[in-house]
Each structure stands twice: as structure tokens, then as C-alpha cells.
């Protein structure tokens, strides 16, 4: 079955009606698989979101969590067709598509629990008969801008938390994957219908190109802009939002490294490296791009990896034995070829698609191309002699998203996780840098943007903090013992 034929059937199952000027092309064969209307009226969407906020913020948080629970139910029921649509539209293999939808379900579960755990603090006051507390209130409408490589999960990370925190959401998806967004919105509408009294404008999607994203970023009614994409995009979004004193949550580029030490379990390491470097055809922000191997084991270990990479099945992502699907489009292919030249190895898989074999590139020093993130399956290999050198190599890039070390030496692992170790937002031991659980906060430092999404206390980004002092006495003592009295 062609991707276009399969997409039509999936969209029908998901309750999506296609039609419009924004076309979606499957990276499997480059053919159009559907189209949607470009809904570029951001001003109207933001006005509706602001109106929805005025009522949604007053709904008790556990009741808001009920809507997210219903959304999770809809996602569970539609997991298989939505995952297949992800595969068709962004080229992920079926297992990764299923994993992405499961990630949506997991964040819904997390957010439902959170709806009863939005805790403040009781703070000891220095003044007698005074009490201080800290509480959290809904922030306002949230604008979510997502990239093609995670066409549904990143919206869910933001939307599930925003909803329980009391915030409406306006979503601008990548124009490369508009069908996935329409399918998710169809499921969200079903959940809101079952919920019964969700305000109009609570969850919206505005389709289109950069002009739509720019309008969302500049609208003063959007209290928080959560944007996922390149560092170049973040350099534009951050200042624009700052100009109007809005908040940003930026998830930008990654240039992630793994250190392999002499004590490492090499069987474990090679399996992790395989997925981290080749998964999603290297098109993840957490993709492993730099492998830092101790010089005493490097030659033999790299040969093992080359043999393993040579056996990877590259092809139609719908096939069960495929591990690496296509690059998203011609521009991604050209970016990879510009970096490694004619050594790029194309695979004759499906006509019209851009299929490449993951490349392992030996490097003596961190050359210029290695310091930049190329969204393609290129793994650079570096050698080191002592751990301090390896950590310095890990940190010697402008991005700071994810990192890992393979070692059975407790001192090495603790050194890597210490304040003078990895400078990334994510630092793992004996697993790769790619693939994160919902429970932990996701995000990175430096040019990765500093944002945190998903687990832990990431919910605080979607709320405003308020400190309250209550005087239940009859005197009015001032803080710091200040005396302020009018003479009789």
C-alpha cells in the first residue's frame, strides 16, 4: 500500500478531514499524503485562548486533571493508528512511532497525578503573629511551537502540564507534519466533548509557516512560548518574547557525546550507541553525535561498531525489520552530504525517499563541522587518554543537552556526574544519551536554551509564583526590625 493510500485510511479512522493549501509529503516516497487548511489567524486564536483562560483558571486543578485523563484515554484507544501516521509523515520506524504516542499517554498520566500535587510552601516568618506562604497560580495562554522529528509527543509534554496548571494552549506544529497535528486535535476535541464544559479556545492549532510562528511569538496575550527547534530559531524567539516581558521555554540543538572507558561493558555500550546514533535516522536533538573512546580500546571497539552499523537495515520504516527509515527531505540529505561529502552512502529503498546509511567518521580533533549539529546520522569518533580529557571533549561544544558515560568504575561515574563533570542538562551512566523517561525534567544548558519540559518540577514554568504574608495579630512589626513611627 502506498503511503498516500494508508494515510487516507488512517485519517478516516482518526476522524480527520483533509483539504487545504498546506500539503504533507511522506519522507517514505516524497509523495503528497494529504493537506490541511493554513489557519493563519493567530490574532483570533490568541484572543480565544485569553478568553478561555479567564474561566479555565478558576476550575479546580483536580477537575482540570480530569480532562487530561480523558485525553489519555483517547490516545490509548488511538495509539496504533496515530503511531502509524507518525511513521508515514515523519519517517520514524513503527516501534519509534508507537513509543512516541506512548510518551503522550505517559505525560497525561503524570499530569493527572500532578493535578492533585501543585504544592506551595509554608515559610517561617521572623515577625510574631505572622505567617508566610507561597502558592502557584495559572500563568496564562501558552504558545507551543514544535519540530517535525517529534510531531506529537512534545505538544503533549506541554499541553498536559499547561492544562492542569490552568493554561490554554495554542499550538503551531511544524509545517512538515501537519496531518499528525490535525489527528491529535481531533482526539483532543473528543476528550473535551466528553469533559463537558471545557471553554471554547482551550486547545487550538494554527497551521502554517514561519509567519504563523512569528505572530504567535509576538502576541502579548501568550504568557509563555515553549519552542522546540534549532539554536538559530531560539536566537530569534528568545529576544522577541523578552521584548514584551513574556516567558520562554526553549528546547534547542544538541551535540551529544558518549564516553566509553576501559572498564565499560562493551556489549552494553555498543547496543546503546547503535540506537543513540542511528535511531530516527539521526534526527533527534538527543542523537549521539560524538563518541569519545579510551585509546586503549578504541581500535577494536570502533571496528565492532562499524561491523554492527553495516548490518543495520535501512529502508521503508513500515517494515518490521527496518531500524533506520528515511531522512525527512532533500534538505536533510544535502546537509549530511555537505558535511561528509561523497562518502555518504545512499540506500536504494523506496523511490522518492532519501535513505542513507549511518556514517562513522574518525576524527583526531574536534573539527569545525563536528562542533555544529548536523541533523543526520553521523557519528564522530574521538580518542582520549585520561578522564579529564574526555570530560573536556564532552563539554567543548556550544550545546549542552545530553551526555553519557559507560564505565564500571564508581569513581569515574561519580566524577562524570559531579559539578566539574558533564555540563549537560542530562548526564547518564551506562545508557546512551538518547531516549528520556517522562518522570525526569528534559532539557539542556548553553545553546540548548536552558528550558525544562516533562517531569520533575517542570510544571512551574506554566504557573506564576505568589508569596503571601498574613498578619493575624494586632501589632504591625516590620521586617528586619525596621522602626517607622510618627512622633506624637
**Per-residue pLDDT for the chain (488 aa), expressed as one digit of tens each?**
999 999 999 999 999 998 999 999 999 999 999 999 987 799 999 999 999 999 999 999 999 999 999 999 999 999 999 999 999 999 999 999 999 999 999 999 999 999 999 999 999 999 999 999 999 999 999 999 999 999 999 999 999 999 999 999 999 999 999 999 999 999 999 999 999 999 999 999 999 999 999 999 999 999 999 999 999 999 999 999 999 999 999 999 999 999 999 999 999 999 999 999 999 999 999 999 999 999 999 999 999 999 999 999 999 999 999 999 999 999 999 999 999 998 999 999 999 999 999 999 988 776 778 888 899 999 999 999 999 999 999 999 999 999 999 999 999 999 999 999 999 999 999 999 998 899 999 999 999 999 999 999 999 999 999 999 999 999 999 999 999 988 88
Same domain, 244 and 368: no
Residues 42, 100 within the same domain: yes
The answer on 20 and 110 residing in a single domain is: yes
Asked, for residue 483, whether it belongs to a domain, the answer is no
Q: Are residues 31 and 167 in the same domain?
A: yes
Give the CATH number for residue 115.
3.40.605.10
Integer Cα distance of 278 and 309 in angstroms: 8
Residues 238 and 285 in one domain: no
Q: Is residue 486 part of a domain?
A: no
Residue 278 host element (H or E) = helix 266-278
Is 477 a member of any domain?
no
Q: What is the pTM of this model?
A: 0.96
Three-state secondary structure call for residue 259: strand
- The reply to whether 300 and 182 lie within a common domain is no
71 half-sphere exposure, CB direction, 13 A CA radius:
34
Q: Is residue 482 part of a domain?
A: no
Residues 87 and 185 in one domain: yes
DSSP 95-136: HHHHHHHHHHHHHHHHHHHHTT----EEE--SSTTEEEEEEE
Average pLDDT, the chain: 96
Into how many domains does the chain fold?
Answer: 2
Q: 378 and 343 share a domain? A: yes
In a domain? residue 479: no
377, 285: one domain = yes
Catalytically active residues, by annotation: 251
337 Cβ partners below 8 Å, 6+ apart?
344
Is 36 part of a structural domain of the chain?
Answer: yes
Characterize the bridge pairing of strands 402-406 and 256-260: parallel
Domain that holds residue 70: 3-252+449-467
In a domain, 368, yes or no: yes
Same domain, 454 and 400: no
Cβ count within 10 A of residue 446? 19
CB-count burial class (<10 Å; 0-12, 13-18, 19+) for 244: exposed
Domain membership flag for residue 81:
yes
If asked whether residues 64 and 108 sit together in one domain, one would say yes
pLDDT tens across 357-393, in order? 999 998 877 677 888 889 999 999 999 999 999 999 9
Neighbours of 79 (CB within 10 A): 17
- Give yes or no: residues 37 and 97 share one domain: yes
How far is Cα 313 from Cα 307, in angstroms, rounded to an integer?
A: 13
CA 271/CA 434 separation, integer angstroms? 12
Q: What is the CATH number of the domain that holds 419?
A: 3.40.309.10
Amino acid at each position: 500500500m502506498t503511503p498516500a493510500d494508508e494515510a487516507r485510511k488512517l485519517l478516516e479512522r482518526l476522524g480527520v478531514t483533509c483539504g487545504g493549501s498546506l500539503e504533507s509529503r511522506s519522507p517514505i516516497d516524497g509523495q503528497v499524503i494529504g493537506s490541511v487548511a493554513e489557519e493563519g489567524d493567530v490574532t483570533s486564536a490568541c484572543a480565544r485562548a485569553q478568553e478561555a483562560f479567564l474561566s479555565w483558571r478558576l476550575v479546580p486543578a483536580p477537575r482540570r486533571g480530569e480532562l487530561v485523563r480523558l485525553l489519555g484515554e483517547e490516545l490509548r484507544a488511538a495509539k496504533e493508528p496515530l503511531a502509524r501516521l507518525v511513521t508515514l509523515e515523519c519517517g520514524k520506524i513503527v516501534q519509534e512511532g508507537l513509543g512516541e504516542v506512548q510518551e503522550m499517554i505517559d505525560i497525561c498520566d503524570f499530569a493527572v497525578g500532578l493535578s492533585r500535587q501543585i504544592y506551595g510552601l509554608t515559610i517561617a516568618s521572623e515577625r510574631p503573629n505572622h505567617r508566610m506562604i507561597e502558592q502557584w497560580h495559572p500563568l496564562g495562554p501558552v504558545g507551543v511551537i514544535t519540530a517535525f522529528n517529534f510531531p506529537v509527543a512534545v505538544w503533549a509534554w506541554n499541553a498536559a502540564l499547561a492544562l492542569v496548571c490552568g493554561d490554554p494552549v495554542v499550538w503551531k506544529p511544524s509545517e512538515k507534519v501537519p496531518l499528525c497535528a490535525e489527528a491529535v486535535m481531533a482526539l483532543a476535541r473528543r476528550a473535551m466533548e466528553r469533559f463537558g464544559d471545557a471553554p471554547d479556545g482551550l486547545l487550538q492549532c494554527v497551521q502554517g509557516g514561519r509567519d504563523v510562528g512569528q505572530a504567535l511569538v509576538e502576541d502579548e496575550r501568550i504568557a509563555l512560548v515553549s519552542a522546540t527547534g534549532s539554536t538559530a530559531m531560539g536566537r530569534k524567539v528568545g529576544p522577541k518574547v523578552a521584548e514584551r516581558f513574556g516567558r520562554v521555554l526553549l528546547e534547542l540543538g544538541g551535540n551529544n557525546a558518549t564516553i566509553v572507558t576501559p572498564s565499560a561493558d562493551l556489549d552494553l555500550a555498543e547496543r546503546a550507541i547503535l540506537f543513540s546514533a542511528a535511531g530516527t535516522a539521526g534526527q533527534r536533538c538527543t542523537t549521539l553525535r560524538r563518541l569519545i573512546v579510551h585509546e586503549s580500546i578504541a581500535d577494536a571497539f570502533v571496528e565492532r561498531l562499524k561491523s554492527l552499523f553495516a548490518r543495520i537495515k535501512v529502508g521503508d520504516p513500515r517494515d518490521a525489520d527496518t531500524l533506520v527509515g528515511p531522512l525527512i527531505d532533500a534538505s536533510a540529505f544535502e546537509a549530511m552530504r555537505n558535511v561528509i561529502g561523497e562518502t555518504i552512502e545512499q540506500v536504494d529503498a523506496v523511490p522518492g525517499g532519501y535513505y542513507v546509511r549511518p556514517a562513522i567518521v574518525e576524527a583526531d580533533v574536534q573539527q569545525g563541522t563536528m562542533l555544529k549539529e548536523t541533523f543526520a546520522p553521523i557519528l564522530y569518533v574521538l580518542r582520549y587518554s585520561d578522564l579529564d580529557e574526555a570530560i573536556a571533549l564532552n563539554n567543548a561544544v556550544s550545546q549542552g543537552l545530553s551526555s553519557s558515560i559507560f564505565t564500571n568504575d564508581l569513581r569515574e561515574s561519580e566524577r562524570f556526574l559531579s559539578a566539574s563533570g558533564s555540563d549537560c542538562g542530562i548526564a547518564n551512566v551506562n545508557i546512551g544519551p538518547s531516549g528520556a523517561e517522562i518522570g525526569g525534567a528534559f532539557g539542556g544548558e548553553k545553546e540548548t536554551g536552558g528550558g525544562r519540559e516533562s517531569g520533575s518540577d517542570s510544571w512551574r514554568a506554566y504557573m506564576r509564583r505568589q508569596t503571601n504574608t498574613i498578619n493575624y495579630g494586632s501589632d504591625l512589626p516590620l521586617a528586619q526590625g525596621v522602626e517607622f513611627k510618627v512622633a506624637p
